Amino acid sequence: MRLTTRGRYAVTALLDLALQPTEQTITLAEIANRQSISVAYLEQLFAKLKRHGLVASVRGANGGYYLARQSSEITILEIIEAVNEKVDATRCDHKGNCQNGAMCLTHDLWHELSMHIADYLSKITLADLVARDNVQTVALRQNSTPFDSAILSATGI
């Protein structure tokens, strides 16, 4: 699998954005703070995400980013591919030259796994993730103040 932190962070950052009020722009610093990702890294990711039409931005004092499309229209696979990640379990990028220029014994197995993963991720949208109870619980914790966090922690959330 070639899914690295770049793909994981891109999905996490866009999910964070999808969890925020739609009428509001969100700064990369806010996302960085909530998700423990460096602003510099987010800048690189968001440049790619913007080029692929997944996010848009507003400059100025109230500037920031917002989703360019509805969260129900953005798939996880689309996000991963926008930041130049591949969902590929083969060693040969699906070329079939994995063993000294020839196909290896398990090429078809890994190729089919890659296709199943891509199919799965293409069916999940940001809206699907936002609707998950666990995501809502984590978002509540991340958006709370330090005082709120202490209360949530004490209650097991």
Tell me how far CA of residue 7 lies from CA of 39, 83, 98, in angstroms. 16, 7, 24
pLDDT at 146: 57
pLDDT at 4: 83
Measured at the CA of 125, the angle between CA 107 and CA 132, to 5 degrees, comes to 110
Give the global pTM.
0.84
pLDDT at 87: 85
Q: Which parts of the chain sit beneath pLDDT 50?
A: 149
How many H-runs (helices) and E-runs (strands) does the chain carry? 8, 2
pLDDT at 62: 84
pLDDT at 157: 58
All structural domains of the chain with their residue ranges: 5-87+127-152
For the CA atoms of 67, 71, 73, 77, the dihedral, rounded to the nearest 10 degrees, stands at 90
* Among 77, 84, 83, CA closest to 125: 77
pLDDT at 153: 55
Bridge partner residues of 55 (DSSP):
67
**Amino acid at position 22, single letter:** T
CATH of domain 5-87+127-152: 1.10.10.10
Contacts for 21 with CB less than 8 Å, ≥ 6 apart? none
Residue 76, sorted as left (phi over 0), alpha (psi -120 to 50) or beta, turns out to be alpha
Distance CA 36, CA 30 (A): 10
pLDDT at 73: 98
